[in-house]
Structure 1
Amino acid sequence: MNPRYLPLQILKKLSMKKYNQTAILQRKFLHSGQIPFLDELSQDYEEVEIPVPWGHVSGKWYGPKHIRPIVGLHGWQDNSGTFDTLAPLLPQNVAFLSIDLPGHGLSSRLPDGMWYDSAVNLQVLHLLMKEYNWDKISIIGHSMSSIASFIFSALFPEKVEMVVGLDALKPHIRSNDKVVETMRNRMKNFIIADERNRDKSEPPSYTYEDLVEKLYVGTFHSIDKDKCKHILARNIKKSLKYPDQYFFARDSRLKSYNYTGFWPELNLELAKRINVPYLFIKCTGSTYFESKEYFDEALEVMKKNPKFEFYEAEGSHHVHLNEPEKISAIINPFIEKYHTAKEDYSKKREGCFTFL
C-alpha cells in the first residue's frame, strides 16, 4: 500500500497523541478491501490529507512531490476519482493533486447545521495555498468546480497561474421564480438531511450493481457504466446491516447545495476581470444548464482575454472520465505553455513534506 503524506505540523500533533500508523494506512480508503473493483483502479498516486478548520481535505497526489501541483477539482457529488483516467495522461513532469471537496469522497463533512455553498470551495483554495505556501495556483475544474474556478480567477487573478474549465463556464442564470422555488425546496431538504446526519443512522443500502445503475441514471447517462467505479470507490461504504450491500457515504446535505445567486451583468463583470491563462472546453453532448444566450455573452467577453482558449470536445458531461484522451490532447499543450512550477517550493518551507 502506498504511503500517505502529511505536512510536518500535523505529524507533530499526531505524534503527541501517539497516533497509530496502522490506523493511518487503514484510513486510505476508509473501506479498503470492501469495495468491488477497488484493486482495478490505478495506485500511481499518494493519498493526502490537508488540514482545514473543520477536519481535513483528502486527495490524490500524482507525479513529482517537490513541485507545486496542478489542483484538480471535481463536480457536484463526484470526488477526486473523476480524474482517475485523465491524470495518467498529463505531462509526466507535472504534479497533479486531485482533491475531494468538503463532504465528498474521503474529505471531512462540514459540521452539523452548516449549509454547503459555493463560497466553501473558494475557501478551500485559499486554505490549500496557505498550507503549502503557494504564491499561485493552477486548476483543472469540472462542472461545479469549473464555475468555482471562474469566480476565483475573477476575484483573485493575482493568485492564479492558469485555469482549465470543463463544460460549465460560469454561474448559471435562472429565472426569478425558479430561483425562489429552488431555494425553498433546498432549505426544506437541507433541514431533513441535517437531522438525519445527527441521528447517525445508516442510509439506505443497495447492491453494488444497483449503485452503478443509480449513478449512471442519476448523471443522465453521463458517466459510462464501466467508469462508475472511479466515482463509487470514494463515495460508498459497506453496510453494517446487510453484508452484501453498500450505501452512499457522501454527505446527503450536498443535494441541497446552495448555489449563490448571480445575474447576467454580474457574470459579465466577473468575466471582464479574468486576465489569466484560461482554457475552457465545452462538451458537445452536454446541456448548457441555462439559456445559451447567457453562455454566449460571457464567452464573447472571455475571448477578449488574449490568453483565453476555447474548444469543444465530442462527448458527455463526463467526457474527461469516459474518454480522457480527447481532453488531454487539448489541455496538455496549454499546460506545457503556461504551467511553470519547476521550482522545489518545499525548500521555502522546511519539512513541508513527510512520508510515512
Structure 2
Amino acid sequence: MNDLAFLSGLLSELKLAVPWGHIAAKAWGSLKGAPVLCLHGWLDNANSFDRLIPLLPQDFYYVAMDFGGHGLSSHYSPGLPYYHQDFVNEIRRVAAALKWNRFSLMGHSFGGAVGGMFSCVFPEMVDKLLLLDSVPLVLESSEVENVLTYRRRAMEHILQLEASNKPSNVVSPEEMLQGLLKNNSQVGEECGKLLLQRGTTQVATGLVLNRDRRIAWPELGFDFISRELFKKALQKLQARVLHVKASQGFTSVRKETKGNKDTIHFMIDTLQMILKERYQFVEVPGNHYVHMNDPHQVAKIISTFLLSDGAPAPGLPTTA
C-alpha cells in the first residue's frame, strides 16, 4: 500500500489477509491517532460510515471493515454457515493484522452486537464501545428456545443454495436500488445508493450483489443469550460505553411488542447498574439509519465521547 494513501484526512482502501481470503476495509484520519474500528449492520457494508466519519475528530484513525460475505470482503469457504462468533473472530483478526492491542469500537445495529460480544470476550482490548442504535449483546429471552431451530435452518439454507446452484441475479441499477429500499424502508435513497456502491459489482448487463447468499436472515447468525448470561458478560466488560438510541430506530425495526420493550428496559437498567458511570445513554430523533440519513444528529455526541477521558462526557446523560 502506498504510504501517501495514509496521509491524515485521506481515505484509503485496505485488504487484510485471512485464511479464507481477505477482509476489506477503508480508513480515515491519522495513522498516529487512537484507533477506532467501525462495524456496519447486517447486510450493509463499510460505506455505512461514509457520511459520519468526516464529521468526527480527524486526529483519530478510523477503520471501517466489511464483515465476511459483505461488501468487498471475501465470502467464507464453501459449505460453511455464518455464525455470530465468526464475526467476533473477524474483529480479533483485524486487530492482529493492524497490530492493535487496544482500540475503540463503534458499531451500528448488528455491528454493535458483535462489537459488544468482542468487548466482553477480549475486555482488555477495548477502550470505548459506541453503540449506534444497537445493543451490546443479543438479549432475547423469547428467542432462546428457538436457537436450535435457527441453527437447523441455517444448515438447511446452505444445502438448498448448493443444490440449486443458481447464478447471481443480474438487475438494472434502478431495480437494485428499489429492491434495497423495499426491503429496508429506513434507508433513504441517497444512502441506499451509497451502500450499493460497495455492495454490488457492475457486469455487462447490470449489477450483481456482492453479498454472500448464505447470509439470509440475521436470526440464523445471532447468538441469543439469556438474562443471566447478559449480566455475567457485562461484568467482564471494561470499556466505557456510549449507547445512542434513535427514537424511531431499533425497537421500531424489531416491532415494539411489550416483550421487546421489557427486554430493552431490562438491558438499559442492567447496563446502568453494572457499568455505572461508564455507561451513557442518549436518545436522538431519527430512525435506525440516523448515522447515515442525518449524521449531524449523532456526530457531536460521538465526538464528545471519543475526546473525553475516564470521566463521563460533559453534556451527555448517564441514564435512560
What's the TM-score, normalizing by structure 1? 0.77
Q: How many residue pairs get matched? A: 295
1:211 pairs, out of 176, 182, 187, with 176
Point out the structure with max Rg over C-alpha.
1
1:99 to 61, 65, 81: 65
Please give the alpha-carbon distance, in whole angstroms, between the structure 2 residues aligned to 1:103 and 1:186: 15
Alignment match, 1:271: 234
Listed one character per residue, the Cα deviations across residues 283-327 of structure 1 (whole Å, up to 9, x for unaligned) are 111242361212211211211312111111211111101101111
Give the C-alpha shift of residue 215 in structure 1: 1.0
Q: Which has the higher contact order (CA 8 A, sep 6+)?
A: 1
Structure 2 matches for 1:91-240, cutoff 5 A? Answer: 91-169=57-135, 170-173=137-140, 174-175=142-143, 178-195=146-163, 199=165, 202-219=167-184, 221-240=185-204
1:181, distance to aligned residue in structure 2 (A): 4.4
Once the 2 structures are TM-superposed, how far is the Cα of residue 91 of structure 1 from its aligned partner?
0.4
Q: Secondary structure at the match of 1:58?
A: strand
> What does the per-residue CA deviation read over 1:15-70, in whole Å, with 9 as the maximum and x for residues that have no partner?
xxxxxxxxxxxxxxxxxxxxxxxxxxxx9410111111211111111111234421
Distance 1:5 1:297, change over 3 A: farther
Partners of 2:162 and 2:111 in 1: how far apart?
A: 24
The answer (yes or no) to whether the contact 2:56–2:300 under 8 Å persists in 1 is no
Separation in 1, partners of 2:115, 2:29: 23
Letter in 2 for 1:267: F
Q: Which residue of 1 aligns with 2:207?
A: 246
Partner SS for 1:234: helix
Q: Tell me the equivalent position of 2:292.
A: 321
Matches of 1:183 and 1:324, distance apart in 2: 36
Amino acid at match of 1:213: Q
Tell me, in whole angstroms, the C-alpha distance in 2 between the residues paired with 1:309 and 1:58: 31
Displacement after TM superposition at 1:206 (Å): 1.5
Gaps of at least 5 residues in structure 2 are 311-320
1:302 match: 271
Classify 1:176/1:51 alpha carbon distance in 2 versus 1 (closer, same or farther; 3 Å).
closer
1:91 and 1:101 map into 2 onto residues whose CA distance is 25
User: Aligned partners of 1:140 and 1:255: how far apart in 2?
Assistant: 24
Deviation at 1:159, TM superposition (A): 1.0
Once the two structures are superposed, residues 226-263 of structure 1 have per-residue CA deviations (whole angstroms, 9 ceiling, x without a partner) of 211111011111234xx2x2121210111154212312
User: 2:223 aligns to what?
Assistant: 260
Pairwise CA distance, 1:153: 1.5
| AA matched with 2:216 | K
Displacement of 1:275 in angstroms is 3.1
Query: Residue 268 of structure 1 contacts residue 297 of structure 1 at CA under 8 Å; is this kept in 2?
Result: no
Displacement, 1:99?
0.7
Cα deviation for residue 177 of structure 1 reads 5.7
Q: Distance in 1 between matches of 2:33 and 2:161?
A: 40
User: Is the CA contact 2:101–2:125 (under 8 Å) kept in the aligned structure 1?
Assistant: yes
Does the 8 Å CA contact 1:283/1:317 hold for their aligned counterparts? yes
> Separation in 2 of the partners of 1:334 and 1:176?
34
Letter in 2 for 1:228: G
Paired residue for 2:313?
A: none
Distance change in 2, residues 1:224/1:54 (3 Å) = same
Note the C-alpha offset of 1:202: 3.0
| Structure 1 segments of 4+ aligned residues over 6 angstroms from their partners | none
**Residue 216 of structure 2 aligns to a residue in which SS?**
helix
TM-score by length of 2: 0.85
Query: In the alignment, is the contact (CA less than 8 A) between 2:39 and 2:111 conserved in 1?
Result: yes
User: Is 2:25 the counterpart of 1:59?
Assistant: yes
Choose 260-269 or 84-93, whichever is displaced more.
260-269
